């Protein structure tokens, strides 16, 4: 009803009044559907701050939008975000790596870098030998490295933004050097298809090294005399990151005005470092500890050697006794084992006999085979020595035997059978050792010595009963006796091994 009254009133108006009413209605409708942007912008910061103080709902509600915005930015142009994060991420990564390296190698480096030297005397001798003033020799050995110049260069244009130089250093035109560095980097990139994310980080020229660190918009280059350490490389990285952090807007809007970067001069001047070599101090503690350990080790070796000799002399003395034949002796797990044959009434631990050698009988382990009757073991030793001293000769460069030498095999077998009877039929190994004269060809010498040992082994097995054990071994031209006749070395000899 109310709307009908309004409509009837509107109809009574003239055209101009009707038009004004329509404009007023349109304005009211627009203001009710769209907020005043300028008014909202005035209160938005305060509203956000107030909401954040109240609770954390606003940041939580913005997480999805923020992630999508970052994702969109990376898809559109990832270099924008990487340039923004460059000064922060580089520093964080480097600090983490440096802490890890420092924790693991610091103590080791300190020890390795130190040593005993007679520096003054050595340097004076070097000065005389090279005819170089002593002062220059001292500088050469005490100066680790010196940074003589530092350049800050715009990456895309190659324009020199800032340049600083160490005192008392004569330099060429800085712009020319800057252009040269840019040209070299561009040449390397074009010639070797270097990717954008890769870069040249050093150039060696004689005794100078040019270290280069890249940033998104600029590079820093340092001319260094000597060998810079890793700390200086970190210093350059920190400097270029700090420059990008402070002058990011100037880089993005760079039009060629280098005066915008005058305030970076102090930062690059901090890179003009002169590092002297650390003085080597005598590692007194290390030498003392090493000396103590060496003394202990030497004493231990000496003690063991003396102890071993005592027990060897004891075993040899037993072997010299009548009615005893020591066949084997060795040391294992701090125990001394002695194997042999003896009369049943033999006592190796006779008190008076042991006292002569001052040995600990608790370390002795005996393994005896006993004779059934008392016999003279001298015959056993004599027969064993006779077998082991038998030599059978061959023709030169051949594994063939003469009839005379072949007849020795039959006699040898009789002695081996007799030895077994003295051993009370205990098993032992007859080892045939083949030899050859030196010819200069080790392979041929080894082959011939094996053939000769096999030849005699087969001849022995033709005669001996089957329960005898015979082995063969080629010795090549190995010389058992320094004074023996070289012709005898084209032969075989024998060794009795207790099983």
Per-residue DSSP letters for 131-154?
T--HHHHHHHHHEEEEEEEEEEEE
Q: Residue 83: pLDDT band by 50, 70, 90 thresholds?
A: low
For the segment 454-475, the average pLDDT, to the nearest whole number, is 89
Q: What are the phi and psi torsion angles at 77 (to 5°)?
A: -165, 100
58 burial via Cβ count (<10 Å: 0-12, 13-18, 19+): middle
Please check the confidence at residue 74 and state whether its pLDDT lies above 90.
Answer: no
pLDDT for residue 478 = 73
For the segment 67-81, the average pLDDT, to the nearest whole number, is 71
> What architecture does CATH give domain 285-370?
2-Layer Sandwich (3.30)
For the segment 222-233, the average pLDDT, to the nearest whole number, is 82
Q: For the full predicted model, state whether its pTM sits above 0.85.
A: no
Q: How many CB atoms lie within 10 A of CB 225?
A: 17
Please check the confidence at residue 339 and state whether its pLDDT lies above 60.
Answer: yes
- Bridge partner list, 381: none
Q: How many CB atoms lie within 10 A of CB 271?
A: 21
Please check the confidence at residue 286 and state whether its pLDDT lies above 50.
Answer: yes
At the top level of CATH, the class of 118-276 is alpha beta
Tell whether domain 378-498 is in CATH 3.30.1330.60: yes
Q: Give the domain ranges of the chain.
A: 17-75, 118-276, 285-370, 378-498
What does the block give as tokens for 52? Answer: 């954040």
**Widest CA span in the chain:** 162
Q: What is the residue whose two structure tokens read 């109809």?
A: 11
Radius of gyration of the chain (CA): 49
Query: Over the stretch 127-161, which tens digit does the pLDDT of each residue have?
Result: 788 777 766 566 566 667 888 888 898 888 888 88
CB 145 within 8 Å of CB 227:
yes
- In this predicted model, which residue has the larger pLDDT, 65 or 353? 65
pLDDT for residue 108 = 36
For the segment 335-342, the average pLDDT, to the nearest whole number, is 82
Rounded to the nearest integer, the mean pLDDT of the chain is 75
Cα angle at 432 between 430 and 433, to 5 degrees?
140
Contacts of 315 (CB under 8 A, 6+ apart): 326, 329, 336, 338
Please check the confidence at residue 258 and state whether its pLDDT lies above 70.
Answer: yes
pLDDT for residue 455 = 92
pLDDT for residue 21 = 72
């Amino acid at each position: 009803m109310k709307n009908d009254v309004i409509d009837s009133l509107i109809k009574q108006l003239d055209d101009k009044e009707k038009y004004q009413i329509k404009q007023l209605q349109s304005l009211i409708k627009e203001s009710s559907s769209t907020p005043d942007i300028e008014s909202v912008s005035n209160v938005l910061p305060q509203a956000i701050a107030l909401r954040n103080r109240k609770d954390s709902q606003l940041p939580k509600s913005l997480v999805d939008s923020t992630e999508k915005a970052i994702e969109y930015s990376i898809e559109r142009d990832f270099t924008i975000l990487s340039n923004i994060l460059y000064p922060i991420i580089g520093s964080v990564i480097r600090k983490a790596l440096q802490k890890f390296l420092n924790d693991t190698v610091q103590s080791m480096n300190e020890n390795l870098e130190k040593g005993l030297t007679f520096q003054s005397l050595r340097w004076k001798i070097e000065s005389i030998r090279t005819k170089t003033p002593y002062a220059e020799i001292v500088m050469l050995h005490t100066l680790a490295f010196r940074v003589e110049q530092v350049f800050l260069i715009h990456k895309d244009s190659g324009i020199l933004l800032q340049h600083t130089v160490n005192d008392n250093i004569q330099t060429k035109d800085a712009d020319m050097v800057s252009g040269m560095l840019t040209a070299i980097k561009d040449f390397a990139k074009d010639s070797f298809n270097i990717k954008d994310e890769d870069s040249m980080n050093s150039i060696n020229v004689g005794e100078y090294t040019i270290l280069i660190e890249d940033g998104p918009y600029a590079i820093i280059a340092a001319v260094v005399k000597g060998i810079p350490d890793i700390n200086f490389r970190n210093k350059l990285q920190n400097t270029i990151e700090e420059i990008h952090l402070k002058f990011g807007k100037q880089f993005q809007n760079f039009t060629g005005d280098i005066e915008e970067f005058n305030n970076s001069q102090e930062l690059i001047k901090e890179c003009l470092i002169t590092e002297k070599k650390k003085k080597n101090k005598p590692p007194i503690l290390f030498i003392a500890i090493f000396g103590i350990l060496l003394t202990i080790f030497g004493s231990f070796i000496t003690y063991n050697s003396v102890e071993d000799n005592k027990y060897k002399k004891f075993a040899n003395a037993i072997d010299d006794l009548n009615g005893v034949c020591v066949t084997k002796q060795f040391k294992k797990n701090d125990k001394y084992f002695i194997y042999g044959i003896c009369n049943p009434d033999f006592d190796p631990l006779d008190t008076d006999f042991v006292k002569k050698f001052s040995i600990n009988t608790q370390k002795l382990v005996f393994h005896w085979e006993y004779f059934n009757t008392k016999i003279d073991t001298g015959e056993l030793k004599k027969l064993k020595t006779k077998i082991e001293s038998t030599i059978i000769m061959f023709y030169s460069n051949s594994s063939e035997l003469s009839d005379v030498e072949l007849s020795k095999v039959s006699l040898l077998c009789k002695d081996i059978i007799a030895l077994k009877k003295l051993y009370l039929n205990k098993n032992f190994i007859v080892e045939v050792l083949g030899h050859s004269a030196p010819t200069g060809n080790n392979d041929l010498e080894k082959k011939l010595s094996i053939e000769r040992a096999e030849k005699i082994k087969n001849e022995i097995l033709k005669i001996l009963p089957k329960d005898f054990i015979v082995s063969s071994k080629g010795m090549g031209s190995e010389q058992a006796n320094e004074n023996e006749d070289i012709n005898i070395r084209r032969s075989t000899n024998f060794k009795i091994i207790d099983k």
